[in-house]
Amino acid sequence: MKHIDNCINEFDSSALDEVTALNKIIKTIKSIKEKEDIPIKDAYNRVLAENIKAKISIPNFNNSAMDGYAVNIKNLIKNNYVLKERSVSLAGKPFYGILKNGETVRVMTGAVIPDNADAIVMKEMVNVKNKKITFNKNIKKNQNIRFVGEDIKKNKIVFHKNSQLTYSKVAILASLGIKKVKVLKKPIISFFSTGDELISIDKKLKKGQIYDSNRYLLRGLLEKFPVIIKDAGVVADNEKKIINKFRKLSKESNLIITTGGVSVGDADYIRDALLKIGSINFWKISIKPGRPLAFGTIGSSYFFGLPGNPVSTSVTFDLFVRPAIYKILSLEKRKDITIKATLVGALRKKRGRVEYKRGILFKKEDKYYVKASGLQGSNILSSLAIANCYIKLGMDIENIKESEIVTTIPFEVSHE
């Protein structure tokens, strides 16, 4: 099926390119400084406000990497190993002592080993009879032993300030006996939709109305971040009401996001409202979808006015809002992984701006292929739902033929 793009946006020489726009955003935004102490059980995804130093080593004692027998190699006669089992060392119930000539201690995985043991023989390699242990394999020094500090050394900086605490990092904090950590406070991000045509999903549609999906889209995109999310609902296409909403939210929010109302139509009031109570840094970007995008400030709050079409909302959030949130949180912007893939089918495009098509990336016989996921209009949310990547087409690229190589950005990296 040939995919027809019904949205025609001609080249606009006044629109900023993607890189310039992003640089303006990052230069304008300041990182938050407020901190708080929280229990590590509440620290998942939070951003550290200070370095974390290990107060103990991990492991903090030499232990066995498997079930077996602890030996001292100097006490062994090569290829004629016969030892007597002296005792057992269990995890949490250690054996205290040293090995003497002709002795071994049975050890369990994770258990303390004798001070002079320098190898562990797997239990599968030995024969046991009347507490006599025999084996005839060559033994290597230090085999199957976990040494003190092998994972983490005492006094080492484990995590640096501004690191984000993943579940594995929180587990490390627990292994170090750390109960609380100092983190950056969560910034408050508020959002609302604009449009007389938008109604809540609990009401019945009338002709000319549509259900507001953008607020659910934005909430899903924001849930990935350690932020406080405030849904401010839907605001009618009325400049006074929009200004009042801006004033209220700017007193309590670090960042305000709107969808819709940033174009140049007769009922698009976001830009005019922002000019009266704030400032606009820019409001047009040379990308598709998503050209009408406003960025500015309202008091001490930053502001993004995203396009109303849901796909444009998603694309502009990924490209501009996501890096802005990283900056607010003092996180280094993650670089998207790109994959070169062979195009299946053809794509239409005009010169003059970067385009992000929704695609389905797949691998066949060790080669990557990608195809459009459906209609590419900025209102077609279904093609975003089944896509797993963006197909990024540069500003100077025109129509792309089948079998040409294109750049893809997988959602697993771009959205997560």
Q: 160-192 burial, b for 16+ CB within 10 Å, e for fewer?
A: eebbbbeeebbebbebbebeebebbbbbbbbbb
Provide DSSP, 205-228.
--TT-EE--HHHHHHHHHTTSSSE
Question: In a 10 Å sphere around its CB, with 0-12 CB exposed, 13-18 middle and 19+ buried, how is residue 31 labelled?
Answer: middle
209 versus 230: which is more confidently predicted? 230
Domain boundary assignment for the chain:
18-34+185-328, 44-57+156-184, 63-146, 339-414
Q: What is the pLDDT of residue 412?
A: 67
Of the candidates 202, 197, 204, the residue with the CA atom closest to the CA atom of residue 235: 197
Query: What phi, psi does 72 have (nearest 5°)?
Result: -110, 115
159 within 8 A of 51, measured Cβ to Cβ: yes
Using pLDDT thresholds of 50, 70 and 90, give the confidence band for residue 268.
Answer: low
Q: What is the pTM of this model?
A: 0.85
Using only C-alpha atoms, the chain has a radius of gyration, in whole angstroms, of: 30
Match domain 18-34+185-328 to its CATH number in 3.40.980.10, 3.40.50.970, 3.40.1710.10, 3.30.70.20: 3.40.980.10
Residue 50 C-beta-side C-alpha neighbours within 13 Å: 10
For residue 325 the two structure tokens come to 């949130």
CATH T-level fold of 63-146: Molybdopterin biosynthesis moeA protein; domain 3 (2.170.190)
- Separation of alpha carbons 257 and 237, rounded Å: 16
The per-residue pLDDT for range 253-262, each reduced to its tens digit, is: 999 999 987 6
Confidence class of residue 13 from pLDDT cuts 50, 70 and 90?
low
Task: Decide if pLDDT at 264 tops 60.
Answer: no
- Listing DSSP states for 230-291 in one string gives EEEEEE-S-HHHHHHHHHHHHTT-SEEEEES--SSSTT--HHHHHHHHSEEEEEEBSEES--
The model's confidence at residue 380, banded by pLDDT at 50, 70 and 90, is confident
Residues 6+ apart with CB under 8 A from 411: 387, 388, 389, 390
Could you tell me the CATH superfamily of domain 339-414?
MoeA, C-terminal, domain IV (2.40.340.10)
136-174 tens-digit pLDDT: 777 899 999 999 999 999 999 999 999 999 999 999 999
Is the pLDDT assigned to residue 267 strictly greater than 50?
no
**7: pLDDT strictly greater than 80:** no
Assigned superfamily of 44-57+156-184 = Molybdopterin biosynthesis moea protein, domain 2 (3.90.105.10)
Mean pLDDT, the chain, rounded, equals 90
The answer to whether 311 touches 329, Cβ cutoff 8 Å, is: no
pLDDT digits (tens, 9 = 90+) for 327-341: 999 998 777 889 999
| 83-136 confidence digits (pLDDT tens) | 999 999 999 999 998 999 889 999 999 999 999 999 999 999 999 888 789 987
The pairs formed by 363-372 with CB atoms below 8 angstroms and a separation of 24 or more are 367/342, 368/339, 368/340, 368/341, 368/342, 368/408, 369/341, 369/342, 369/343, 369/344, 370/341, 370/342, 370/343, 370/344, 370/406, 370/408, 371/343, 371/344, 371/345, 372/3, 372/345, 372/347
